[in-house]
Amino acid sequence: MRAISYGGGVQSTALLVLAAKREIDYTTFLFANVGDDSERPATLAYIRDFAAPFAADVGLELHRLQRTRRDGSTETLME
């Protein structure tokens, strides 16, 4: 699997746009969500409101990953 680690910042978003324009050969982006209590709220809002819908509209995959315990609960970085 070829994927780009997407952090929601300027460089990651530039890569997302380049992929949308088919200037780089990547279609999968992975965002490691460290948790609502650990990540900047503005970053999470940007990804939710702009980056994820944009990626879906242009045919790219933006996966939001989080740590999940065996019992199904999630764990944040602060925890």
Q: Please give the pLDDT value at position 75.
A: 72
Q: Where are the domains of the chain?
A: 4-69
Instruction: Classify 63 as helix, strand or coil.
Output: strand
- DSSP secondary structure of 13-37: HHHHHHHHTTSS---EEEEE---TT
Q: Are 36 and 44 in contact (CB under 8 A)?
A: yes
For residues 33 and 47, what is the distance between their CA atoms, to the nearest angstrom?
Answer: 10
Per-residue pLDDT at 4 exceeds 70 = yes
Residue 77 pLDDT exceeds 70:
no
Report pLDDT for 51.
Answer: 97
pLDDT at position 36 is: 78
Check residue 78 and give its pLDDT.
59
**pLDDT 10s digits, 27-69:** 999 998 887 777 889 999 999 999 999 999 999 999 998 877 7
